[in-house]
Amino acid sequence: MDTIFIKTPLGITKIDGDENGISAITAGNDGNISAPDQYPVHLREAAVQLEEYFEGKRTEFTFKLNPAGTEFQQKVWKALLDIPFGKTMSYLELSKILGDVKAIRAVAAANGKNPLWIVVPCHRVIGSDGSLTGYAGGLWRKKWLLDHENPIKQQTLF
């Protein structure tokens, strides 16, 4: 397993993976930024695509994913991939899509265990009342990501 660290507007992002795909992308404030010329070949595309996302040039990711999780978690993460860029969905709506409205807490828990920050867009899942609820990277990051993906940018008055 190889690891690199890239600088993003939301802090230092850690990317883990190998030739089988990217297994984890996490946000934080720790880690030494990796030199792009030293990125392992199997992590290079993920770094490039994340940089393009933050520059506003990319709305979907195409590199190979390989997250570790239970069968149920994998099912939830796969459903998250279907939430379009710039859109949100409630935990209840996601539970309905997965076929069991009563599984809302399990869906929320699986969402919270998502190891692929941004790429598997758990930040696009909100409360039924539109509130920003639960986000492992911090609610301020979730708000930033949703604002970044919003096609209608709020203009400042001053």
Rounded to 10°, the helix 104-112/71-80 angle is 80
Q: Tell me if residue 122 is catalytic.
A: yes
Residues 47 and 50: their CA atoms lie apart, in Å, by: 5
25, 50, 108, 122: the active-site residue: 122
- Residues 91 and 79: beta-carbon distance below 8 Å: no
Instruction: Give how far Cα 154 sits from Cα of 10, 29, 58, 149, 157, Å.
Output: 19, 28, 20, 12, 9
- Catalytic positions, please? 122
